Structure 1
């Protein structure tokens, strides 16, 4: 009997020791995400969201997940982030899905859609419609070894900085302009020579005359980049980007190596970053717009109804062409439009006109 009792005691001790060792091993299983970014941390909203995310992830995970952020171009160029993360040369990256339009034509639909949903409707489709599933499917079907995560949401952007007033579609013809995403295809169709540049390359291109006009982001971000020093007409509304997403890409092998609590720390932090970026974005634009007018000689201009109708009709043509050229683009756009059709009874009745 004493031997039995002693054996049980030894067994219990061994199990306790194993549990303790297992717990220590789990605690020691730390992950470092080396994350190149497409956006400099000096930028309002975009940069602030990233640095906030780095701190948030470390805090929530008790430092079991850490992010080392690399400024644009320090580790890789912004437009190389997807390939680098997929191949595991960096295990994470931060940017916008629309940057991969040359690789996957449907990618801009997960970034911003001309005359598309505002932030609330967009989030509803991504989180509770099929948006998030289709987002992952896009990367999987294209053979990229990444997990995308919505990790920021921006309010409406401005729709361009020009050196002269634009009163008709003819005034656009022949302009050389930095323009991103599907809105860029609309501008191309209207006779604009469009180029896509990272944020840090726009001002030098304007200064050298390589481009005549640009769009990039919201007033506070554009102001930081100094566009107002060279072009004085800032146009609204941002018909091409009523809401814009930011994306955290994680190498799938790295993601699968993480335990549930580490994965949850990233998911919760990214959802919080959506709220953070949207709120700080909304809070900081009116100050910049007033300052632009009062101190920097900027004229804020609202597009005429006729110009907005031109943009809308041209977007409809682009959407049809893109859907014909790429089957997955059609799948995603049809799904988004179907969601918006169902949403419309709420959207039309629930909100007060501004």
Structure 2
């Protein structure tokens, strides 16, 4: 009997010590929570994770600048000042140009192909090899389908029309535009409209039609260009302090990973559902929709080839990630060409 009591006591004690400590994740965002898709997806992640964790994890979404400025999230997660962040890897291209390849690639993969590379061909793993150096864990936690190519006050008919423009542009596409004489700058979403309104910038790209409509760019610039050669799909991420991530239980990490996978599927489906209505409404408000000519697309592609060669020569991380992606895309191409209608 004594042995049974002792065994029961040990079992109860072991169970108590094995209970997970509650994890709190204060998560500043690069996007306002009201911004359809990009910001709302972060709020949905918060709500989903808090619900399914049963109190084991408490995530709190913070608006841009409420805790830290949007473009300082990386440093603050890295040094442990904040637990997490809601963002896009391309915002950290100044830290390491390879981050751009995990976010959006000019003339790159569509959403399905991009996710396949990230989750089943080592993309997300390579991403964390770089992030982990700075004490950060990143999870692919969202994806949006093609973006528009940009908003312009005047019609663009040739590469000459781009020269001298001041334009908000993101990621690797910005380097392409620089090759064509555009003065680019990276602005967070909430800063773009005021810059357009004041004339600080002449043009901008940001996202897909429903998101651009939400930000009101059509009130200032009336020429809207497609296709979004620079971002055929864009990955969103959840950043977490590596120390925080490592301190979680397997169950807690699994809940976060599962919530991110669900968030990604929901965001992609919603994004595809809402673009037609947004385009029709903006056309009704005087927006002229343009499709780049083959000559213009070839110009962008030629400049992109130059950018790739330069980035490969300058950064071994970029080369390694690029080689991985290109190998996968080469294998995927046969399936894509056989399986999908053209």
Please say whether Structure 1 and Structure 2 have the same fold, judged by a TM-score greater than 0.5. yes
Determine the structure 1 residue equivalent to 2:214: 224
Determine the structure 2 residue equivalent to 1:95: 87
Determine the structure 2 residue equivalent to 1:248: 238
Q: In structure 2, what is the Cα distance between the partners aligned to 1:312 and 1:223?
A: 27
Determine the structure 1 residue equivalent to 2:49: 57
Does 2:334 correspond to 1:345?
yes
Does 2:282 correspond to 1:285?
no
Tell me, yes or no, if the aligned pair for 1:57 and 1:63 is still in contact at 8 Å: no
Q: In structure 1, what is the Cα distance between the partners aligned to 2:319 and 2:3?
A: 65
Q: In structure 2, what is the Cα distance between the partners aligned to 1:76 and 1:280?
A: 29
Q: In structure 2, what is the Cα distance between the partners aligned to 1:185 and 1:68?
A: 35
Does 2:305 correspond to 1:316?
yes
Distance 1:322 1:9, change over 3 A: closer
What do the CA deviations read for 1:244-294 (whole angstroms, capped 9, x no partner)? Answer: 000101001111111111110100000111101111111111110000012
Determine the structure 2 residue equivalent to 1:147: 137
Q: In structure 2, what is the Cα distance between the partners aligned to 1:17 and 1:183?
A: 58
Where 1:187 maps in the other structure, the secondary structure is helix
Determine the structure 2 residue equivalent to 1:260: 250
Q: How far is the alpha carbon of 1:21 from its aligned partner?
A: 3.0
TM-score (norm 1): 0.94
- Of 88, 106, 110 in structure 2, the residue corresponding to residue 114 of structure 1 is 106
Aligned-residue Cα RMSD (Å) equals 1.1
Does 2:32 correspond to 1:40?
yes
For structure 2, the 5+ residue unaligned runs are: none
What do the CA deviations read for 1:15-53 (whole angstroms, capped 9, x no partner)? Answer: 343245336xx15x1111010000101111112211111
Q: In structure 1, what is the Cα distance between the partners aligned to 2:130 and 2:184?
A: 25
TM-score (norm 2): 0.98
Paired residues in the alignment total 342
Q: In structure 1, what is the Cα distance between the partners aligned to 2:317 and 2:4?
A: 62
Does 2:67 correspond to 1:67?
no
Tell me, yes or no, if the aligned pair for 1:61 and 1:261 is still in contact at 8 Å: no
Where 1:106 maps in the other structure, the secondary structure is helix
Q: In structure 2, what is the Cα distance between the partners aligned to 1:212 and 1:271?
A: 37
Where 2:274 maps in the other structure, the secondary structure is helix
Where 2:130 maps in the other structure, the secondary structure is helix
Tell me whether 104-113 or 55-64 shows the greater mean CA deviation: 55-64
Q: In structure 1, what is the Cα distance between the partners aligned to 2:38 and 2:296?
A: 29
Does 2:71 correspond to 1:79?
yes
Where 1:90 maps in the other structure, the secondary structure is coil
Tell me whether 116-125 or 14-23 shows the greater mean CA deviation: 14-23
Q: In structure 1, what is the Cα distance between the partners aligned to 2:103 and 2:295?
A: 26
Q: In structure 1, what is the Cα distance between the partners aligned to 2:210 and 2:109?
A: 22
Q: In structure 2, what is the Cα distance between the partners aligned to 1:193 and 1:349?
A: 41
Distance 1:20 1:202, change over 3 A: same
- Which structure's CA Rg is the greater one? 1
Q: Runs of at least 4 residues of structure 1 off by over 6 A?
A: none
What do the CA deviations read for 1:87-140 (whole angstroms, capped 9, x no partner)? Answer: 110010110110111110111000000000000111111011121121011223
Does 2:264 correspond to 1:274?
yes
Q: How far is the alpha carbon of 1:350 from its aligned partner?
A: 0.7
Tell me, yes or no, if the aligned pair for 1:93 and 1:249 is still in contact at 8 Å: yes
Tell me, yes or no, if the aligned pair for 2:176 and 2:300 is still in contact at 8 Å: yes
Tell me, yes or no, if the aligned pair for 1:163 and 1:232 is still in contact at 8 Å: yes
Determine the structure 2 residue equivalent to 1:306: 295
- Of 139, 147, 150 in structure 2, the residue corresponding to residue 160 of structure 1 is 150
Q: In structure 2, what is the Cα distance between the partners aligned to 1:19 and 1:317?
A: 60
